[in-house]
Structure 1
Amino acid sequence: MLLKVRCGIVIGVLSASMMSQAQDYLPVLQYHHVSATSPKSTSVTPEQFTEHMDYLKTAGFQVVDLRSALDDLKDNIALPEKAVAITFDDAYRNIYKAGFPILKERSFPFTIFINTEPVERQSRSFLTWDQMKEMKASGGAFANHTISHPYMLRKNEGESDSAWLGRMTNEVDTVEGLLVEKLGSSPKMMAYPYGESNITIRNMMKEKGLMAFGQQSGVVSADSDFENLPRFPASGAYAKLSTLKTKLNSKPMPIASIKTGGDFATDKPVSLNLTFKQGKYRLKDLVCYVSGQGKAELDWLSDSEVVATASRPFDIGRGRINCTMPDNSGRQYYWYSNVWIRSEANEGYISEKS
């Protein structure tokens, strides 16, 4: 009996120790090109990518398989301490030539979201199915980025809402079929081209069992919208290791509810209403930044509810508000971001109500 009690105590101590080292959130890095000659805005050089991957290794980050980690978070299963996931968009061949050897050497799993039209026509700038098979054998996963990389919320001229939705359904279903046919399986994940989606597209993802990513920054947790997940861009202007370190050490903002006013911005300044969970947080240190405008105005409606408002309307295109707040230790930051689309009438965007 005494032995059982002692064993129970040991198991309890070990469990507590393991939980203290566990993590209930996941930063996800987003890359495109790994090249010194591709567009700088969406590229890291091989040297920069090596620096990033070396930092993950030496700083003790645990690079995890993305889909498995998302499943665990959704089921409230703890991830390893300092878990992180690596992703790429667009299936560029330079990922295979310059990025894959670096990942393979370190045994890092990774996910590439592929648009299949250039792959199928055998563009020399894009991956081949054989290259993908080789990468899959060494920890690579390949997921959905549509056939043709369209703006998913834009209708063709004269196209009805139902015809648009049918076209978007085909963009998704065709890639899912090719992943199974060519690679044997699909991880059932999606990255929206340009990060754009609306409630109709997100409902489609849910019905098809696909987890999906936008292009807002932030950290994934069990509270995230699994049809519109955040990632941290790590290319171009975001490739500096100093700023990447802050993002890798970020936590999900402790938010109980969010009001954004919808996916589309108008000719009025956008606002973001955040209600925080119960707890002791450094709410007085919350700062929200509006893309291209600086700090948002913060209006505290109560001790736990704030409205962040832009100073002026967004320009045409995509705009965002990023909010950060230090945790009680001051060593990590809570992070939340939201993106809006401000469209022009001639761009053919689907109605906000569709």
Structure 2
Amino acid sequence: MFIALLIMVTLMIVFFIKFQHRIPILMYHRIATVPGDRNSLPPEKFKEQLDYLKKHGYHTITLNDLYNHVTLQVPLPPKPVILTFDDGYEDNFSCALPLLKERDMKATVFPIVHWVGMENKWENFNKQLTQTMNWDHLKQWHAAGMEIGSHTLEHPFLTQCDEVRLEQELRHSKMILQEKLGAAIDFLCYPYGFFDNRATEIAKQCGYRGALAIFANAPLWNHDMYALPRIPISSRQPSWEFALKVSRFHILFIMLRKIERGAKWLRWK
């Protein structure tokens, strides 16, 4: 019993030392009240989360801040956290942006280039129809000090794309965003969180500084700028769990999701 306890304590200490400097990257989608949609966070819950971060001394940073820290050892503020929004829904602009600006916070949005300013009909599985941010919204987002990355042209499963389609999705989306917005597009967000070695290599060739996943295939022990794991924030997110997800123990949630995904995959086989 004593030996088992000693091993457990030792593992916890090793875990804490190894991951204490990892920065939590939160993944949001819509900021709206949509019954039955776990990816849509009600505005009052989002406001509550931002207020928690502000009250407890967290500082939002951009992905470029993270890149400069990792590659150039540029210091970061205390308790850094990164906020990301997938798909570029219009409510990110109309609802989330004012709340972020009021608190002098930063965030990154990943629009789908061929769906900018359109209804979300790529989500053809009974999702509530809503608009995405248009080009003017994205320009205002950037002018407010926020960051923009690419979420590809069409939001495909990259692991199912051939080499030609894969390069088009990554390279052309970056080029179009840069031309339309007059801003550098340095980061990629893999649709559905799925990627493979081909995707990471082409992302590097296209000039991305890094790429974001969710948890599947994302390494935890080693820090890989082209496979950054994120923590999903759901509509049913309780306050105590959010507090843990932005703490030094946030990597535990990613680890548990990886285990859960692995168990599901084994059952499917």
TM range (shorter): 0.7 to 0.9
1:27 corresponds to which of 24, 27, 49: 24
Taking the aligned partners of 1:232 and 1:44, their CA distance within structure 2 comes to 14
Q: Which amino acid aligns with 1:193?
A: P
What residue in structure 1 maps to residue 126 of structure 2? none
Q: CA deviation at 1:94?
A: 1.1
Is the CA contact 1:115–1:149 (under 8 Å) kept in the aligned structure 2? Answer: yes
CA distance in structure 2 between the partners assigned to 1:62 and 1:36 by the alignment: 26
Following the alignment from structure 1 to structure 2, what is the Cα–Cα distance between the partners of residues 198 and 167?
A: 14
Distance 1:176 1:39, change over 3 A: farther
Q: Which has the higher contact order (CA 8 A, sep 6+)?
A: 2
Partner residue, 1:151:
157
Secondary structure class of the residue paired with 1:107? coil
The TM-score with structure 2 as length reference comes to 0.78
Summarize the alignment of residues 240-251 of structure 1 with structure 2, pairs less than 5 Å apart: 240-250=238-248
2:229: which partner in 1?
230
Deviation readout 1:194-228 (Å, 9 max, x if unpaired): 111111111111222320011118x9999411111
Structure with greater strand percent: 1
SS at match of 1:178: helix
Aligned residue identity for 1:147: L
CA shift digits 1:154-193 (9 cap, x unpaired) = 14xxxxxxxx111111111121112211111223101100
Aligned-partner Cα distance in 2 for 1:288–1:95: 26
Calculate percent identity across the aligned residue pairs: 27
Q: Distance in 2 between matches of 1:165 and 1:221?
A: 27
TM-score by length of 1: 0.60
Unaligned 5+ segments in structure 2 are 1-19, 121-129
Q: Residue 36 of structure 1 corresponds to which residue in structure 2?
A: 33
Task: Please state if 1:87 is matched with 2:87.
Answer: no
What SS does structure 1 have at the residue aligned with 2:240?
A: helix
Question: Within 1, Cα distance between the matches of 2:81 and 2:116?
Answer: 28
- Map residues 58-69 of structure 1 onto 2, 5 A cutoff: 58-69=55-66
CA contact (8 A) 1:26 1:221 kept: no
- Which residues in structure 2 correspond to 1:262-281 (within 5 Å)? none
Q: Is residue 115 from structure 1 mapped to residue 115 from structure 2 by the alignment? A: no
Residue in 2 that maps onto 1:259: none
Bigger Cα Rg: 1
**Number of equivalenced pairs:** 236
Three-state SS of the structure 1 residue aligned to 2:38 is helix
Q: Distance in 2 between matches of 1:209 and 1:222?
A: 25
In 1, the alpha carbon distance for the partners of 2:233 and 2:256 equals: 22
Counterparts of 2:81 and 2:263, CA distance in 1: 35
Query: Which residue does the alignment assign to 2:195?
Result: 197
Mapped partners of 2:258, 2:215: distance in 1: 13
* Structure 1 residues not aligned, in runs of 5+: 1-22, 156-163, 254-285, 293-309, 317-341, 343-354
Other-structure match for 1:128: 134
CA distance in 2, matches of 1:108, 1:39: 29
What letter corresponds to residue 207 of structure 1 in structure 2?
Q
143, 157, 165: which one pairs with 1:167?
Answer: 165
Deviation at 1:251, TM superposition (A): 5.1
Which has the larger share of helix?
A: 2
CA 1:249–1:166 in structure 2 vs 1: closer, same or farther (change >3 Å)?
Answer: same
CA contact (8 A) 1:24 1:79 kept: no
Deviation at 1:67, TM superposition (A): 1.5
Equivalence for 1:212: 211
Displaced runs of 4+ in structure 1, greater than 6 A? 219-222, 286-289
C-alpha distance in 1, partners of 2:178/2:82? 23
